[in-house]
Amino acid sequence: MLSAEDRVAIEALHRAWLDAEVRGDSSALLQLCTPTPVWLPPNEAPLCGTVSILRWLGDQPHTAVLRVDIDNLAVSGVGSFAWKLAMFRTTFEGPSGNAGTVTGSHAWLLQKDASGTWRISVVVWTIAGTV
């Protein structure tokens, strides 16, 4: 089981991720990850490492994340490994100024590094639909 301190740290990491998403700060997102993160975007090949992830992010249509609402946040783990699950609702503004909302779920696998800091190792998400 995770300690209360570990849960607080992972929830703070989650908030830092959401803040970076709203700011559109890809570098800040990757600073929250392990040195060799893996992202598993829906219907895409796995992205292994920061170079692949940054390249993929750079190829995405420019959208401004306006807001991310989270439901059913669940954190669990044991020792230096943890996982986080949640449902999300992201409101964004697209390249032509059109607003939209996408819903889905995401999961993280996390590792506590040698300094005791939790880092995101794997990110996977699904898209349930657009509103």
How far apart are the C-alpha atoms of 26 and 4, rounded to whole Å? 29
pLDDT tens for each residue of 25-76: 999 999 999 999 999 999 999 999 999 999 999 999 889 999 999 999 999 9
Residue 131 has pLDDT above 90, yes or no: no
pLDDT tens for each residue of 76-122: 999 999 999 999 999 999 888 889 999 999 999 999 999 999 999 99
Burial of 123 from C-beta contacts in 10 A (0-12 / 13-18 / 19+): buried
**What pTM was estimated for this model as a whole?**
0.93
pLDDT of residue 97: 86
Name 112's bridge partners.
118
Domains of the chain (ranges, CATH numbers): 4-130 (3.10.450.50)
DSSP state letter for 60? S
